[in-house]
């Protein structure tokens, strides 16, 4: 009996062991079968998804922290073709809410391309419209009988950022814009496109929650802080618009720069565009150089260039402020007769008188006295004919013909001295003149004040481009220019502040001849003279109320300078001197 | 009962087949219970890790949504306080642009002229997942693999 029981137990043990082994063998067989390999392969297709992470584009602020360019959420609206129940309802809803074409939507849903399960019907839809559609989808779903899908089932919403400019057209010529493809055009947006956009990252993202820590952290684009003051920019744009209207000009530019470090404080130009409607670019501008004429439109500046000629003459020792000269009203240079702007002789003049009365003959005399080598060497050192290096996209270099060039003639030595036959941009004039306002040192104009990335702020230091003249020459010339403005009771004078500057009235060449009725009126000035904190350049294109820079650009300079002193908290000279005396 | 009988009884008890079988069954049950406990523990840890992973995924999505909402609000705020809007509001409230003669300058000891804005005050802490110790994200099998690999290295 006992043995029989033992045998049964043993048999049962073997059976159980066999079943256990069979289960294990079967498990191994299934796991290593061809079907298992197929299933594993199928599963692996869902284990990871390839995703591209696009970091948010960096924001742009003005020097006081006002947002000039940010991001806002817009929606891509598409259809999951596998889930669509009513293509007609979807096409109708989109037509009513977004104004999209009904038939286009129907065709896209009903006749999709092969192997496509998702169709985009609209993109860059604003949040409000997308929300309306989402609510409509929910309402239809709630109204549908139980177990039946709503009419907009399959409609899908994907949020993504889009560039937004809260200030609209303000500083549009400085900022530039970003297209829907995410590429920056013009200004800061193009110049710092790589920094702002950040680096997109393409990764295989595990769907397994146990591997959630593998989700990459993609840093956003770098935020930029500009040197521009929003309020000063707004004032500059308003003053420019009023000046263009009052003087009947076709266009204009006002640039405000700190001559001590090259920080651009304001840069207004016309025309401007609402950056949120960048697609209107083609209707507003006929070519790229019109977007920001302050840096990309070279023109003959006329008499404002005389300050550079005088600086060269003073620094080279050719003349002193007291050097006298007898103005006969004309001079022959390179076989061509050069005359004063009024075609009249001005008699005995000193160098301050030359500047005060803006005598072409005097300037041509100075340049010929210096000789082509010295004169063009100074002009080259001032940066004429070279890019300034301003950190805005689309800068033009202008043109300074020099002896040896095929199109240079001896008369150019005379005409270049008073700003004819030479093409410069406003930013070049500002950079060149900064050496006079900044103790002989030329500053590189720039719009970027700092970059913010990964919680750290990197400030951009001032850059200098050389010292074409001495500190003493700069001081002497500044005093001469200030005195000449005061002597003629210029409209550029600013009550309470001593300023230095020079007008320019340049006739515009038409069909190879200078048209006396069409001029570029300009003014370059800076102040306060004893401690220059702003430098302003005004350019009015073809003013019809008066052709003279002294009657159009000069008062615009004064108005801009007044606003600058208010907005930058620059006290009048007497108060500053009181403060300095303490 | 005399001592030889006791010895014989103990011997008989020790070699009794039912006792050996019971020992085998006991050992087998112990192994099964141990395996079940380990499996339960493993399942519990794995489930918790999966839930935590899903929460991380959800939180990442929430962070992205918050960042988008924050960017939207910031842009909206900037639009509401843009230069043109503020100027319009100021005019509506009866303000007008100041003229230079109206400016009064006061001497304030220690006043420093405003400099370009500083948008950050301190570096942000690094919030990246790789700083999580392996104990919190590796499975039991991963841990065993690692230990086996380490012992293999030790043997070599």
Q: Name the phi and psi angles at A357, rounded to 5.
A: -95, 0
- Mean per-residue pLDDT of chain B: 82
Which of B22, B25, B78, B89 is the best substitution to test chain A (most A C-beta atoms within 10 A)?
B78
**Who has greater pLDDT, A145 or B133?**
A145
Per-residue confidence at A25, pLDDT binned at 50, 70, 90? very high
Per-residue confidence at B125, pLDDT binned at 50, 70, 90? very low
The CATH number assigned to the domain holding A106 equals 3.30.70.2110
Clarify whether residues A367 and A405 are in a common domain. Answer: yes
Nearest to B75 among A71, A452, A575 (CB): A71
Q: Residue A501 sits in which domain range?
A: 230-281+293-581
Average pLDDT score over residue span A362-374: 94
pLDDT at B113: 72
Flag whether pLDDT at A100 surpasses 90.
no
Flag whether pLDDT at A54 surpasses 80.
no
Clarify whether residues A242 and A352 are in a common domain. Answer: yes
pLDDT at B122: 52
Contacts of A167 in chain B (CB under 8 A): 78, 82-84
Average pLDDT score over residue span B21-49: 91
Clarify whether residues A410 and A449 are in a common domain. Answer: yes
Q: In what order do the strands lie in the sheet with A534-541?
A: A264-269, A251-257, A534-541, A513-527, A500-510
The CATH number assigned to the domain holding A484 equals 3.40.710.10
pLDDT at B143: 82
In a domain, A54, yes or no: no
CA–CA gap between residue A124 and residue A72 (Å, rounded):
10
Average pLDDT score over residue span A404-428: 92
Clarify whether residues A260 and A126 are in a common domain. Answer: no
In a domain, A38, yes or no: yes
pLDDT in tens, A182-229: 889 999 999 999 999 877 777 777 777 777 767 777 778 899 999 999
Say if the Cβ atoms of B68 and A73 lie within 8 Å: yes
pLDDT at A473: 95
Which of B58, B73, B117 is the best substitution to test chain A (most A C-beta atoms within 10 A)?
B117
Flag whether pLDDT at A378 surpasses 80.
yes
pLDDT in tens, A103-146: 888 888 888 777 777 888 888 898 889 999 999 988 988 888 87
CA–CA gap between residue A473 and residue A310 (Å, rounded):
10
Contacts of B54 in chain A (CB under 8 A): 209, 212
Clarify whether residues A435 and A381 are in a common domain. Answer: yes
Flag whether pLDDT at B107 surpasses 90.
no
Average pLDDT score over residue span B70-97: 93
In a domain, A381, yes or no: yes
pLDDT at B129: 44
The percent of residues above 70 in pLDDT, for chain B, comes to 84
Clarify whether residues A365 and A448 are in a common domain. Answer: yes
3-state secondary structure at position A577: helix
Tell me what ipTM this predicted complex has: 0.80
In a domain, A183, yes or no: no
**Who has greater pLDDT, A489 or A256?**
A256
Q: Give the number of domains in chain A.
A: 3
Per-residue confidence at A562, pLDDT binned at 50, 70, 90? very high
Contacts of A127 in chain B (CB under 8 A): 72
Q: What is the 3-state secondary structure (H, E, C) of chain B?
A: CCHHHHHHHHHHHHHCHHHHHHHHHHHHHHHHHHHHHHHHHHHHHHHHHHHHHHHHHHHHHHHHHHHHHHHHHHHHHHHHCCHHHHHHHHHHCCCCCCCHHHCCCCCCCCCCCCCCCCCCCCCCCCCCHHHCCHHHCCCHHHHHHHHHHHHHHHHC
pLDDT in tens, B39-79: 999 999 888 888 988 888 888 889 888 988 898 999 999 99
Clarify whether residues A251 and A308 are in a common domain. Answer: yes
**Who has greater pLDDT, B110 or A254?**
A254
In a domain, A402, yes or no: yes
pLDDT at B155: 62
Flag whether pLDDT at A309 surpasses 90.
yes
B117 touches chain A (CB under 8 A): yes
Per-residue confidence at B1, pLDDT binned at 50, 70, 90? low
Clarify whether residues A471 and A328 are in a common domain. Answer: yes
Average pLDDT score over residue span B12-34: 86
pLDDT at A268: 96
Say if the Cβ atoms of A495 and B100 lie within 8 Å: yes
In a domain, A171, yes or no: no
Half-sphere exposure of A424 (CA within 13 A, CB side): 33
In a domain, A170, yes or no: no
- Out of A134, A149, A164, pick the residue that ends a domain: A164
- Out of A120, A135, A164, pick the residue that ends a domain: A164
pLDDT at B50: 86
Nearest to A449 among B54, B69, B116 (CB): B116
pLDDT at B126: 43
**Minimal C-alpha gap between A299 and chain B (Å):** 32
pLDDT at A222: 92
Give A73's strand partners: A161
Average pLDDT score over residue span A312-337: 91
CA–CA gap between residue A89 and residue A177 (Å, rounded):
37
- Mean per-residue pLDDT of chain A: 90
Say if the Cβ atoms of B71 and A56 lie within 8 Å: yes
CA–CA gap between residue A574 and residue A23 (Å, rounded):
101
Two structure tokens written together for A310: 């005088």
Clarify whether residues A11 and A115 are in a common domain. Answer: no
In a domain, A565, yes or no: yes
Per-residue confidence at B124, pLDDT binned at 50, 70, 90? very low
Per-residue confidence at B123, pLDDT binned at 50, 70, 90? very low
Clarify whether residues A40 and A79 are in a common domain. Answer: no
Q: What is the pTM of this model?
A: 0.82
Say if the Cβ atoms of A225 and B117 lie within 8 Å: yes
Q: Which residues contact A423 (CB under 8 A, 6 or more apart)?
A: A298, A299, A300, A398, A399, A400
Clarify whether residues A272 and A136 are in a common domain. Answer: no
B54 touches chain A (CB under 8 A): yes
pLDDT in tens, A485-535: 998 888 999 999 999 999 999 888 887 788 878 899 999 999 899 999 999
A 10 A CB-CB count for A323 gives: 14
Helix axis angle, A306-315 to A372-382, nearest 10°: 120
Clarify whether residues A135 and A8 are in a common domain. Answer: no
The percent of residues above 70 in pLDDT, for chain A, comes to 99
Per-residue confidence at A87, pLDDT binned at 50, 70, 90? confident
């Amino acid at each position: 009996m006992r043995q029989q029981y033992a045998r049964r137990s043993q048999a049962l043990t073997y059976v159980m062991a066999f079943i256990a082994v069979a289960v294990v063998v079967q498990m191994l067989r299934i796991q290593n079968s061809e079907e298992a390999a197929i299933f594993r392969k199928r599963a692996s297709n869902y284990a990871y998804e390839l995703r591209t992470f696009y970091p948010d584009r960096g924001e742009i602020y003005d020097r006081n922290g006002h947002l000039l360019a940010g991001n806002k959420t817009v929606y891509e609206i598409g259809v999951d073709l596998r889930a669509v129940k009513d293509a007609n309802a979807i096409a109708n809803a989109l037509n009513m809410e977004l104004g999209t074409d009904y038939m286009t939507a129907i065709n896209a849903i009903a006749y999709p391309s092969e192997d496509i399960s998702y169709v985009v019907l609209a993109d860059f839809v604003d949040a409000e419209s997308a929300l309306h559609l989402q609510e409509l989808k929910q309402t239809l779903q709630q109204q549908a009988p139980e177990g039946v899908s709503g009419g907009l089932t399959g409609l899908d919403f994907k949020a993504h950022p889009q560039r937004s400019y809260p200030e609209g057209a303000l500083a549009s010529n400085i900022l530039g814009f970003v297209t829907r493809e995410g590429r920056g055009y013009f200004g800061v947006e193009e110049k710092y496109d790589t920094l702002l956009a950040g680096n997109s990252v393409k990764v295989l993202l595990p769907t397994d929650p146990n591997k959630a820590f593998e989700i990459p952290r993609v840093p956003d684009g770098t935020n930029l802080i500009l040197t521009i003051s929003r309020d000063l920019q707004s004032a500059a744009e308003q003053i420019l618009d009023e000046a263009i209207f009052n003087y009947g000009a076709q266009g204009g530019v006002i640039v405000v720069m700190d001559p001590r470090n090259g920080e651009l404080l304001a840069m207004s130009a016309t025309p401007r565009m609402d950056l949120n409607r960048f697609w209107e670019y083609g209707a507003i501008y006929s070519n790229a150089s019109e977007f920001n004429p302050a840096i990309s439109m070279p023109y003959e500046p006329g008499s404002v260039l005389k300050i550079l000629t005088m600086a060269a003459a003073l620094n080279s020792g050719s003349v002193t402020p007291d050097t006298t000269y007898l103005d006969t009203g004309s001079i022959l240079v390179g076989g061509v007769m050069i005359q004063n702007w009024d075609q009249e002789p001005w008699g005995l003049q000193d160098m301050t008188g030359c500047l005060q009365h803006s005598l072409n003959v005097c300037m041509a005399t100075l340049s010929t006295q210096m000789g082509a080598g010295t004169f063009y060497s100074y002009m080259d050192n001032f940066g004429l004919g070279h890019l300034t290096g301003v950190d805005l996209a689309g800068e033009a270099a202008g043109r300074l013909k020099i002896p040896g060039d095929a199109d240079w003639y001896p008369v150019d030595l005379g005409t270049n001295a008073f700003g004819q036959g030479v093409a410069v941009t406003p930013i070049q004039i500002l950079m060149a003149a900064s050496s006079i306002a900044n103790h002989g040192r030329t500053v590189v104009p720039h719009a970027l004040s700092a970059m913010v990335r990964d919680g750290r702020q990197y400030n951009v230091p001032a850059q200098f481009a050389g010292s074409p003249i001495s500190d003493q020459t700069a001081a002497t010339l500044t005093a001469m220019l200030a005195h000449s403005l005061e002597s003629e009771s210029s409209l550029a004078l600013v009550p309470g502040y001593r300023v230095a500057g020079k007008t320019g009235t340049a006739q515009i060449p038409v069909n190879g001849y200078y048209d006396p009725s069409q001029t570029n009126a300009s003014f370059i000035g800076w102040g306060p003279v004893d401690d220059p904190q702003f430098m302003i350049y005004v350019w009015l294109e073809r003013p019809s109320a008066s052709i003279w820079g002294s009657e159009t650009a000069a008062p615009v300079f004064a108005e801009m300078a007044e606003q600058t002193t208010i907005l930058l908290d620059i006290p009048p000279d007497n108060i500053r001197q009181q403060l300095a005396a303490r | 009962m005399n001592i030889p009988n006791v010895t014989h009884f103990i011997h008989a008890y020790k070699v009794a087949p039912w006792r050996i079988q019971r020992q085998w069954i006991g050992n087998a049950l112990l192994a099964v219970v141990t395996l079940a406990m380990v499996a339960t523990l493993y399942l519990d840890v794995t489930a918790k890790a999966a839930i935590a992973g899903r929460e991380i995924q959800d939180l990442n999505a929430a962070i992205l949504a918050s960042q988008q909402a924050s960017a939207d609000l910031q842009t909206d705020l900037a639009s509401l306080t843009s230069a043109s809007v503020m100027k319009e509001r100021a005019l509506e409230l009866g303000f007008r642009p100041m003229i230079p003669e109206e400016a009064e300058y006061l001497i304030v000891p220690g006043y420093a002229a405003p400099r370009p804005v500083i948008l950050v005050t301190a570096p942000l802490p690094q919030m990246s997942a790789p700083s999580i110790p392996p104990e919190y994200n590796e499975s039991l099998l991963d841990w065993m693999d690692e230990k086996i690999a380490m012992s293999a290295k030790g043997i070599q």
